[in-house]
Amino acid sequence: MTPAGCKRQRGAIAPERGAAVEQKVLGKTDVRVPAIGLGTWRYSGGPEPLRRGIALGATLIDTAERYGTEAAVGRAIARLRSRVFVATKVRHENLRYEQVLRAADSSLLELGIERIDLYQIHRPSQQVPIAETMAALEMLVDAGKVRFIGVSNFSVAQLKSAQAASRYPIVSNQVRYSLVNRAIEDELLPYCQRHGITVIAYSPLSRGLANLVGGLGDRALMRVAAAEGRSPVQVALNWCISKQNVIAIPRGSTVAHVEDICAASDWRLSEESITMLEAAYSGPIVRTEMA
């Protein structure tokens, strides 16, 4: 079932009947992906939380070579492949041409799939020319092993270099973005919005609700949650995906947490609530480890 006002486009990943996760267009493609997906960095929940998320419409699952969770994702989606948009990443130590090709084959084997929907450079390398890495990614697309190319943790300058070196579009940039870390709003987010690049927000809850509470932010978040009749988690995530071109991939290691996460979509915070949150969370950036 598609969200109200949205027509199913060719290539859309269809949630189960009754699921209500909003979908957004990926980059400049004709493919729609859920505005709320599931991240798996430090994931330990087993298959059931991921399967519950898929059932609720969170059909994008993000993993990575360096996370060590590709096999777990593969087990969770084993009989659900046609309904899941699988995103993974090649680690930045493996960005030489042949290394990328070997890493992709390894990820395909771990995931138990024949094609990666979104293959991302996990972070830029200072040692390997971006043109060499992009050539390998192009080869993977040509071979039918990768559907779309993305990057992660790239600045505007690095993103421009990747775009210039590729025959295929860069459809996404996965970066840290949350109420307490809004650094991308200065330059990177506007660039992606202008050029039709999806921003995939990792750590949209700043690695846990505890990092979102305290001081004015705490009071504003709780006040908005009460006014909207939503949980603080849902408010924080809905704020994130209210931004043009932004989707979020929080981690949910229990079924209950995944259900809370998925309920962050298919509704909108009021402009008053957004203004209140952004005023309260305008202080120093909370630094956390890069995923």
For 20-35, what is each residue's pLDDT tens digit? 789 999 999 999 999 9
Judged against a pLDDT cut of 50, whether residue 14 lies above it is answered with: no
Domain that holds residue 45: 23-210+233-267
Domain membership flag for residue 177: yes
**pLDDT of amino acid 87:** 98
What average pLDDT score do residues 158-181 get?
Answer: 97
Domain membership flag for residue 227: no
Domain membership flag for residue 100: yes
**pLDDT of amino acid 208:** 57
> Which residues lie closer than 8 Å to 227 by C-beta, 6 or more apart?
270, 273
What average pLDDT score do residues 239-248 get?
Answer: 98
First to last CA, the chain: 32
Average model confidence (pLDDT) across the chain = 90
Q: What is the pLDDT of residues 181-195, one digit of tens each?
A: 999 999 999 999 999
Rounded Cα gap, residues 44 and 112, in angstroms: 19
Whole-prediction pTM: 0.90
Domain membership flag for residue 221: no
3-state secondary structure the chain: CCCCCCCCCCCCCCCCCCCCCCEEECCCCCCEEECECEECCCCCCCHHHHHHHHHCCCCEEECCHHHCCHHHHHHHCCCCHHHCEEEEEECHHHCCHHHHHHHHHHHHHHHCCCCEEEEEECCCCCCCCHHHHHHHHHHHHHCCCEEEEEEECCCHHHHHHHHHCCCCCEEEEEEECECCECHHHCCHHHHHHHCCCEEEEECCCCCCHHHCCCHHHHHHHHHHHHHHCCCHHHHHHHHHHCCCCEEECCCCCCHHHHHHHHCCCCCCCCHHHHHHHHHHCCCCCCCCCCC
Q: Pick the catalytic residue from 67, 119, 177, 281.
A: 67
The CATH number of the domain holding residue 243 is 3.20.20.100
Judged against a pLDDT cut of 50, whether residue 6 lies above it is answered with: no
Domain membership flag for residue 5: no
Of 140-149, 216-225, 243-252, the range with the lowest mean pLDDT is 216-225
Task: Give the angle subtended at the CA of 177 by the CAs of 174 and 179, to the nearest 5°.
Answer: 165
**pLDDT of amino acid 9:** 34
**pLDDT of amino acid 20:** 73
- Which residue from 252, 216, 59 is spatially nearest to 234, judged by alpha carbons? 252
Domain membership flag for residue 17: no
Of 142-146, 188-192, 206-210, 235-239, the range with the lowest mean pLDDT is 206-210
38-39 β-sheet, strand order: 38-39, 60-62, 85-90, 116-121, 146-152, 170-176, 198-202, 246-248
What average pLDDT score do residues 99-117 get?
Answer: 98
5 band by pLDDT with thresholds 50, 70 and 90: very low
Amino acid occupying residue 105: D
* Structural domains counted in the chain: 1
Domain membership flag for residue 87: yes
**pLDDT of amino acid 282:** 81
Percentage with pLDDT > 70 across the chain: 87
**pLDDT of amino acid 263:** 97
Domain membership flag for residue 80: yes
Amino acid occupying residue 258: V
The CA-atom distances, in angstroms, between 264 and each of 144, 227, 229, 237, 280 are: 34, 15, 11, 6, 20
Percentage with pLDDT > 90 across the chain: 82
What average pLDDT score do residues 50-77 get?
Answer: 97
Q: Is 281 a catalytic residue?
A: no
Of 118-122, 217-221, 260-264, the range with the lowest mean pLDDT is 217-221
